[in-house]
Chain A
Amino acid sequence: MMTNPVRKITQGQFSFLPELTDAEISLQVDYGLSRGYAWSIEYTDDPHPRNTYWEMFGMPMFDLKDAAGVLMELQSCRKTFPQHYIRLMAFDSTRGVESIAMSFIVNRPASEPGFGLIRQEAGGRTMRYTVHGYASARPEGERGGNGKS
C-alpha cells in the first residue's frame, strides 16, 4: 500500500475531490458566512498531520461578511506564499462549540513528496514508529516545489 498514491496530501474537507476553483471556494465561504462563521487563512510548509496550528495570515476576519473580501485575502496570501499549503478555516463562535467548523486546503506546492515512516528499534523487540515529512527535511524557505518558497 502506498501512503501517498496521488502525491497529494489529504487533510481537511474536500481534499479527495478535484481542486476547488475560486468560484467554488466562494460558494463555501458564503455558506460559512450564512451560518455565522468567521473565516481565517493559515499557511505552512510543514503539513505534518500533527502540525495542528499553521501560521496565521493576518487576523481572523471576524467582521467580514462578504465572500469577495475573504477571496481577496486569499489571493494576497497566494501571492506571498505560492509554494506553501494554504487553508481556509471557519470558526463557529456558538456557545458550547467555539471551534473550527470548516477547514480546507486552497493552495498546494507544485510537488508534494508526502511522508516516510521511520522505524526505531528500541529495547527488546520493541519498534517505535514516527512519521517524517520529506518536505520538512529541507530548510525553511526551500521546502516547496522547485526550491522557491
Chain B
Amino acid sequence: MIDLVIGWTAIQSMSNWARRNDMILHMHRAGHGTYTRQKNHGVSFRVIAKWLRLAGVDHLHAGTAVGKLEGDPLTVQGYYNVCRDSYTRQDLPRGIFFDQDWCDIRKVMPVASGGIHAGQMHQLLDLFGDDVVLQFGGGTIGHPAGIQAGAVANRVALEAMVKARNEGHNIRVEGPEILRKAARGCSPLQQALDTWGDITFNYTPTDASDFTPTAAVAH
C-alpha cells in the first residue's frame, strides 16, 4: 500500500516494481486533500484518478459517498467510472467533461473505504456496482461478537444484496428489508445491523460538480 504523499515519481517506480514482483499495488489516497479540498485552486480527484490509472496502480481509494468522508455521490461515481471504463463518455452531472477512449490501458479497481458498514450494503451496491473493493475496517473489527463474526456479517449482507439485485429486486428501495431478512438466518448480521444500522453521515460535500442544468434545460 502506498499513499499520495510519497510523490508521483515514487508512485510510478513502485508501480513498475510491483508489476515485476507479482504484487498488487494498493493506492490509498492520504494527502489528496492538499489538492482536492479547494475547488478554486486545486486539482480535482477525477484528474488524480486518471493520473494514477496511467501510473499503473491496481487499487485506488475513490470515496464512498455514504461513509464518514465527504463525497458527492454523482461526483464519486465519476471517479469510479474513470477507473473502470474502457471508454468514458461525457457525463456532466458526474464531472466528466469529454469523451475519453482508454484503449487498452489497464483498469483500476476502485476502493470504497471509511466509515461504511453492512447496513449500507444496498446503497454501496447501487452506487458502485460490481467492480469495487468494499473495505469495512471498523465495520468488521468493531463487531460486538468479534472480527470473524464481523466478516461473516459483511459477507452475508453483500451476497444477499447481490442475489436480490440479480433476481430483479429494486435494492435501493427494498435494501433494508432484504438485509433484515438475511439477518434472520445470520445472527452476526443481526448484531451488525443493531450496532450500526442507523449510522449515517450527513454533510454537504464541497466536491459537488460545477455542472447545474439551467432552468430551460431542466424543464
Q: Mark B142-170, 1 if CB is under 8 A from A, else 0.
A: 00000010001001100110110011100
* Contact among A14, A16, A28 for B152, CB-based, below 8 A: A16
A27 close to B166 (CB less than 8 A): yes
Number of chain A interface residues as a range: 10 to 19
- Report if B99 contacts A (CB, 8 A): no
Once the chains are docked, how many angstroms separate the CA of A35 from the CA of B163?
Answer: 15
- Report if A134 contacts B (CB, 8 A): no
Complex contacts, B104 vs chain A, CB 8 Å: 96
Chain A's interface: helix, strand, loop or mixed, by majority? loop
Within 8 A of B (CB), among A4-54: 10, 13-18, 24, 27-28, 31
- Report if B177 contacts A (CB, 8 A): no
Once the chains are docked, how many angstroms separate the CA of A31 from the CA of B155?
Answer: 21
* Interface residues in B, total, Cβ within 8 A: 18
Complex contacts, B148 vs chain A, CB 8 Å: 1
Within 8 A of A (CB), among B161-205: 162-163, 166-168, 182, 185-186
Once the chains are docked, how many angstroms separate the CA of A16 from the CA of B186?
Answer: 9
A13 close to B159 (CB less than 8 A): yes
B163 close to A101 (CB less than 8 A): no
Complex contacts, A24 vs chain B, CB 8 Å: 163, 167
- Report if A95 contacts B (CB, 8 A): yes
A63–chain B nearest beta-carbon distance, Å: 22
* Contact among B130, B163, B185 for A28, CB-based, below 8 A: B163
A17 close to B156 (CB less than 8 A): yes
A18 close to B185 (CB less than 8 A): yes
Q: Mark A90-110, 1 if CB is under 8 A from B, else 0.
A: 000011100001000000000
Once the chains are docked, how many angstroms separate the CA of A112 from the CA of B152?
Answer: 19
Complex contacts, A101 vs chain B, CB 8 Å: 130
A16 close to B159 (CB less than 8 A): yes
Task: Answer whether A16 and B162 are a contact pair too, CB < 8 Å, given A1-B148, A24-B167.
Answer: no
Once the chains are docked, how many angstroms separate the CA of A18 from the CA of B181?
Answer: 12
- Report if B209 contacts A (CB, 8 A): no
B28–chain A nearest beta-carbon distance, Å: 25
Once the chains are docked, how many angstroms separate the CA of A123 from the CA of B130?
Answer: 44
Once the chains are docked, how many angstroms separate the CA of A28 from the CA of B166?
Answer: 6
- Report if B107 contacts A (CB, 8 A): yes
B156 close to A27 (CB less than 8 A): no
- Report if B86 contacts A (CB, 8 A): yes
* Contact among B152, B159, B166, B186 for A31, CB-based, below 8 A: B166
B86 close to A95 (CB less than 8 A): yes
A4–chain B nearest beta-carbon distance, Å: 12
Across the two chains, which residue of chain B brings its CB closest to A101? B130
Q: Identify the 4 closest CB pairs spanning chains A and B, nearest first.
A: A31-B166, A96-B86, A27-B167, A16-B155
9 residue pairs bridging A and B, Cβ less than 8 Å apart: A13-B162, A13-B163, A14-B163, A16-B159, A17-B156, A28-B166, A31-B166, A31-B167, A31-B168
A interface, CB within 8 angstroms of B: 1, 10, 13-18, 24, 27-28, 31, 94-96, 101
